[in-house]
Structure 1
Amino acid sequence: MSDDLTRLANGVLWPGFFGTTAPAWLLEELRDGLAGVVYFGQNISDDLASLSEEILAARPDALIGIDEEGGSVTRLETATGSTLPGAAQLGRLDDVAATEATGAELARRVRAIGGNVVLGPVADVNTDPRNPVIGVRSFGSDEQLVSRHTVAEVRGIQNGAVAACVKHFPGHGDTHLDSHHSLPEIALPVEEFERVHLEPFRAAIAAGVDTIMTAHIVVPAWGERPATLNPRVLGMLRDMGFEGVIITDALDMAAIRETVGIGGGAAEALAAGADLLCIGNPTNPGEAALPDQDLRDFLAARDGIVAALRDGSLSEERVREAAGRVAALAARLREADAVQVADFDAAEVVRRAVADAGVAPASALSVVDARRRSSLAVDSAAGYVAAALAGDGHRVRLDVASTGVEEQDAALDAAVAAEGTTVILVDRPDADPAQRALVERAAQRDTAAVAVNVGLAAERPLALPTVEVGAASRIGALIARETLLGRVG
């Protein structure tokens, strides 16, 4: 049996874990007051609802969250790719009813597996086209467009008796670094930051969003600490009228793990005003992950909190306040009823959002997948996108960042030799010169070729007719395929 401080710390912790069944340590901690769990790809099975039942049996008020955004980011469909529209597609369409319906469908799917928190929508205004971690996860680069679609998706999710979590406060849209791997700094003028990047969060707060996730970014005008650990930044949320649960982005990300550490980060985040600490995905260290990485990360966070409580650097009052907010949200969600909504045709929404530059119908497709490597947030190199696009046709993965022109030309030769139209699959045509150069070399060949872009829409036209998809998703790839084959009705 734990002591009172350990149980108190458990009430603000939200870990990931290994496996498709609950580890013994996790069930024990849930019975001892652990706030809940976060699901990631390694937890997904055909019987995820049974895992949720196991967790809820150990703690009926557990918060079960999942990083399910639609588009390029899915956990529920991690093996096959998302079948829901992504934010950039919804922003391009600019139909708030479609965005609200997407939120409602997200909530329905999450409730069906026993979850009660959707870690979305992304409220970041993506003003830097080089952004490696937000990009098409954002509704767009205009704060008013992002605001209205953030509100619409929050409304759809929360009408489904699931908590929404807008992210990543105070705004992760104007960076070219990924906080999974480093600590980004955004040195915009304060007036611009407040006018552009805070606006969607203000709108979400006014709409009654249940939770808001912090960003591991530094805004020098507001101090040297990353927002997750910065009382001035988190205090802004309360000054803006937010009374819900402040959730940290994962404490195992490099921006925290490799600076103050998970334990120090947990204590500092609580002291700064956070309420629920997402410890994150134990697979994040990659090959360096140990078999018990999930338990190690959880204990590092909890031990850091308990040590800070004991030495007085973190007050019990602050942690009890945080745990009270978390418990109140969990209790309310347990009693919530979903609003009934009409059936949702996700394919039709994506079809309306996909744009093509007058491509001629093809008989078959031969795909050269030249996208960047996977990131921890977005598995953009996942084979399901290229597979769905190619169908039974030829496809090859080509890492343009690490291959020379000779090898790239050989891949183009093989694609041309295969049946049908050559498709160059890209995701960063403006930010990655190597992707654009490959498209240009394909265009110089005397053969049918097109580009399919699953990243941000190209600001400078590509040398090939281009289908702008706006998400690395299964549904996006299937719609692009039917577009290229001339099967769109």
Structure 2
Amino acid sequence: MSDELTRLANSVLWPGFLGTEAPEWLLAELRDGLAGVVYFGQNISDGMPELSAALREANPGALIGIDEEGGSVTRLESATGSTLPGAAQLGAVDDIEASRATGAELARRARAAGVDVVLGPVADVNTDPRNPVIGVRSFGADAALVARHAVATVDGIQSGGVSACVKHFPGHGDTHLDSHHALPVITLDTSVIEDVHLEPFRAVVAAGVDAVMTAHIVVPAWGEKPATLNPVVLGKLRAMGFDGVIITDALDMAAIRESVGIGGGAVQALAAGADLLCIGNPTNPGSAALPDQDERDFLAARETIVAALRDGTLPRERVEQARDRVRALAAKLQAATPTAAAPYDAAAIVRRALRVVGEADAAASALAVVDARRRSTLAVDSAAGYVAEALAGDGFRVRLDVERASDAERDAALDAASAAGGRVVLLVDRPEVEPAQRALIDQVAGRDAGAVVVNVGLPVRGELPLPFIDAAAASRVSAEVVRELLIR
């Protein structure tokens, strides 16, 4: 009986793992019915097709997912930076065909790596400019714009024989907390949530999206539990007519790990109506992560589910329903015939998305880049060096942790940039909501009126004391296109 329950629990679990080769424990679980795996940056190498083939040899029906959005969020290109436009750039261009083509190209790249589920696009309406976790991952702050581009991107992805998983239901766009580190509470009137934040999800459900990911956020009017664990919230998704796979955001994120725990979260998520439990990125605990954190997190979820099935606190019928949805998706993907992706020019889309204010594009012979972006988060590699590297080219660049830097450290970085020759470029990502970034802009303006600000975060709504370029993504292709604009 325990073996049967173990296989049932495995059929709804979707762990991440450490390393670029499949560990033996993972292969053994795949042979014992594990639903599949999720790839993160630590899994990426030149051997992705071979890795995916090894996983499917262990379980031919395995779903292999990846957290790949383009723009500021990439796993496939985590070492060098994304060469796809991000959602905010696509929203700025507001060209449905560009979003559809980007989805198709994303699917082509995923299939080449042996991946068949893309955790994207983001369908959150980013209505809070302080948002530390969504921001430029969203198509914008207008529900109708987000809805039409989410639908187009889903269409592009799924026409490529890959499942899209829109996220983060019921909408993570109006929060100023990161659920990787805390449990955000959404205090909006529920009519605003229904009219604004749920609208893109209604649109993608109507368009036939294969999967939807939950958010670890609390809407007090709908109960005290976060959406991932809340049957009221997940019931709203089913009431929209969605009968696909509900995938949880990672259960090892602090919002769940440090409240009910991974095991408790797994049981509660299934009971609430989730189908596939993402155990996610085993580096989520940060410095506390152990060498076998991947297996530990997986077993914490699996063993708790088996115990709940055995004592009847988790109905077996509910887990079997979830398993059947997951298997149906796997069967659909195995039978899929992808449409061939058309020729694609990411740089052309990014150029259309740039917003240039003032004499930002005045010709320069060289650039001296001061990288003052915020520190990286678990969701977004905000401070990735490839952005400054691509922007500076062979020129000077320096990283400045502006939130922690002393006055002397700031002065030394700016002095070095000025002495390097060329035009000083201040690289930022939150110039209107991070006081330290704005203060640095003012300081540079007082020293060098010829400097330029390159903002890879949400577009500037007001004015800055220097010319600036809103690029709307911390990606390699964005940096390369901006450099082309600045260097003549």
Task: Give TM class, smaller chain.
Answer: over 0.9
- Give the aligned residue type for 1:479: V
Contact 2:124 2:197 in 1 (8 A): yes
Mapped to 1, the partners of 2:339 and 2:171 lie a distance apart of 30
- Equivalent residue number for residue 7 of structure 2: 7
- Give the aligned residue type for 2:16: G
Within 5 Å, give how 1:190-339 maps onto structure 2. Answer: 190-339=190-339
- Equivalent residue number for residue 480 of structure 1: 482
Give the direction of change, closer, same or farther, for the CA distance of 1:141–1:313 in structure 2 (3 Å limit).
same
Contact 1:416 1:447 in 2 (8 A): no
Q: Unaligned stretches of 5+ in structure 1?
A: none
Deviations 1:436-477 (A, max 9, x none): 110111111145210000000011211111011000000001
Equivalent of 2:469 in 467, 470, 488: 467
Alignment TM-score, normalising by the size of structure 2: 0.99
Mapped to 2, the partners of 1:482 and 1:445 lie a distance apart of 25
Structure 1 stretch displaced more, 442-451 or 57-66: 442-451
Kindly state the Cα deviation for residue 128 of structure 1 after the two structures are TM-superposed: 0.2
Mapped to 2, the partners of 1:317 and 1:447 lie a distance apart of 68
Mapped to 2, the partners of 1:296 and 1:326 lie a distance apart of 23
- Give the aligned residue type for 1:31: R
Mapped to 1, the partners of 2:28 and 2:115 lie a distance apart of 20
Deviations 1:383-404 (A, max 9, x none): 0001000111111111111112
- Give the aligned residue type for 1:129: P
Mapped to 1, the partners of 2:186 and 2:452 lie a distance apart of 36
Contact 1:69 1:86 in 2 (8 A): yes
- Give the aligned residue type for 1:443: A
Mapped to 2, the partners of 1:116 and 1:419 lie a distance apart of 48
Q: How many residues align?
A: 486
Mapped to 1, the partners of 2:441 and 2:339 lie a distance apart of 47
- Equivalent residue number for residue 119 of structure 1: 119
Within 5 Å, give how 1:19-38 maps onto structure 2. Answer: 19-38=19-38
Deviations 1:100-145 (A, max 9, x none): 0000000000000111000000000000000000000000000000
Within 5 Å, give how 1:421-436 maps onto structure 2. Answer: 421-436=423-438
Deviations 1:60-118 (A, max 9, x none): 11000000100000000000000000000000000010000000000000000111000
Within 5 Å, give how 1:391-402 maps onto structure 2. Answer: 391-402=393-404
Mapped to 1, the partners of 2:184 and 2:166 lie a distance apart of 19
- Give the aligned residue type for 2:57: A
Mapped to 2, the partners of 1:483 and 1:347 lie a distance apart of 12
- Give the aligned residue type for 2:326: V
Q: Does 1:169 align with 2:145?
A: no
Mapped to 1, the partners of 2:108 and 2:342 lie a distance apart of 12
Q: SS of the residue aligned with 2:426? A: strand
Q: SS of the residue aligned with 2:108? A: helix
- Equivalent residue number for residue 374 of structure 1: 376
Q: SS of the residue aligned with 1:366? A: strand
Kindly state the Cα deviation for residue 260 of structure 1 after the two structures are TM-superposed: 0.2
Q: SS of the residue aligned with 2:166? A: strand
Mapped to 2, the partners of 1:266 and 1:323 lie a distance apart of 14
Contact 1:231 1:272 in 2 (8 A): yes
Contact 2:449 2:466 in 1 (8 A): no
Within 5 Å, give how 1:339-418 maps onto structure 2. Answer: 339-357=339-357, 358-359=359-360, 360-418=362-420
Q: SS of the residue aligned with 1:343? A: coil
- Give the aligned residue type for 1:136: V
- Equivalent residue number for residue 17 of structure 2: 17
- Give the aligned residue type for 2:226: P
Q: SS of the residue aligned with 2:165? A: strand
Within 5 Å, give how 1:176-191 maps onto structure 2. Answer: 176-191=176-191
Q: SS of the residue aligned with 2:217? A: coil
Q: SS of the residue aligned with 1:3? A: helix
Mapped to 1, the partners of 2:9 and 2:85 lie a distance apart of 37
Contact 1:2 1:32 in 2 (8 A): no
Q: SS of the residue aligned with 1:444? A: helix
Which 4+ stretches in 1 moved above 2 angstroms? none
Kindly state the Cα deviation for residue 317 of structure 1 after the two structures are TM-superposed: 0.1
Kindly state the Cα deviation for residue 239 of structure 1 after the two structures are TM-superposed: 0.5
Contact 2:14 2:34 in 1 (8 A): yes
Give the direction of change, closer, same or farther, for the CA distance of 1:127–1:446 in structure 2 (3 Å limit).
closer
Mapped to 1, the partners of 2:477 and 2:437 lie a distance apart of 23
Deviations 1:131-169 (A, max 9, x none): 000000000000000000000000000000000000000
Mapped to 1, the partners of 2:283 and 2:301 lie a distance apart of 16
Mapped to 2, the partners of 1:333 and 1:15 lie a distance apart of 19
Q: Unaligned stretches of 5+ in structure 2?
A: none
Mapped to 2, the partners of 1:484 and 1:241 lie a distance apart of 49
Within 5 Å, give how 1:39-188 maps onto structure 2. Answer: 39-188=39-188
Identity among equivalent positions (%) equals 72
Kindly state the Cα deviation for residue 341 of structure 1 after the two structures are TM-superposed: 3.3
Q: SS of the residue aligned with 1:14? A: strand
Mapped to 2, the partners of 1:287 and 1:61 lie a distance apart of 34
Contact 2:15 2:37 in 1 (8 A): yes
Contact 1:18 1:43 in 2 (8 A): yes
Contact 2:82 2:476 in 1 (8 A): yes
Mapped to 2, the partners of 1:355 and 1:363 lie a distance apart of 21
Mapped to 1, the partners of 2:421 and 2:54 lie a distance apart of 50
- Give the aligned residue type for 2:379: A
